[in-house]
Amino acid sequence: MFDKLVVKLISPEIRLVKSFEGNFFDHETDTLHFDRHEGEGLGWFLRNLETAHECQFVDDIDPLMWTLLHEIGHFETAEIVDPEEDLANRALFAITSKEQARGDKELQDLYFSMDSEWQATEWAIDWVANHHKLAVALSWVLSK
Ligand SMILES: [Zn+2]
């Protein structure tokens, strides 16, 4: 219920809407679609935070808060992501996930290693590192 307030505090330019079809950021309208019931491959995402990103704050923050921060990260890092390269990466990922019999784990690793996903995750980690007390407090508010 405090979802909008939390986002306003972190990135006032972003509009948050409730979603029932997963979490994603719409760059056309600067709208964060937030689905409380489905993390963006949340378990894998958290594992990715711990392993690939060597993030030591994973357990300090509620998974919902990590999801929200990652989506905000898509907004905050949009300027350093090449949109054409990102489109190509996503198309390649879609083809790879259809054509090759890869395990979920491998596919999720591939997904979160795409440049735009990697950047969004890095942004979330940096934000938590730089605002640790606030992050913990907002995480608590968000989880209520
Ligand atoms: Zn993402």
Q: Residues for the chain: how many in total?
A: 144
What pLDDT is attached to residue 94? 92
What pLDDT is attached to residue 21? 87
Distance, CA 53 to ligand 1 centroid (Å)? 15
Distance, CA 69 to ligand 1 centroid (Å)? 10
Distance, CA 137 to ligand 1 centroid (Å)? 23
What pLDDT is attached to residue 39? 60
What pLDDT is attached to residue 110? 87
Distance, CA 74 to ligand 1 centroid (Å)? 7
Q: Are 30 and 75 in contact (CB under 8 A)?
A: yes
Question: Which of 2, 33, 38 lies closest to 19, judged by CA?
Answer: 33
What pLDDT is attached to residue 81? 95
Distance, CA 54 to ligand 1 centroid (Å)? 18
Distance, CA 37 to ligand 1 centroid (Å)? 16
d(CA 4, CA 101) in angstroms, rounded, equals: 39
User: CA–CA distance from 2 to each of 7, 86, 143 (Å)?
Assistant: 9, 32, 9
What pLDDT is attached to residue 127? 97
pTM for the whole thing? Answer: 0.91
Domain ranges of the chain: 3-143
pLDDT along the chain (144 residues), means of 10: 92 95 92 83 80 91 92 96 94 87 80 93 96 96 88
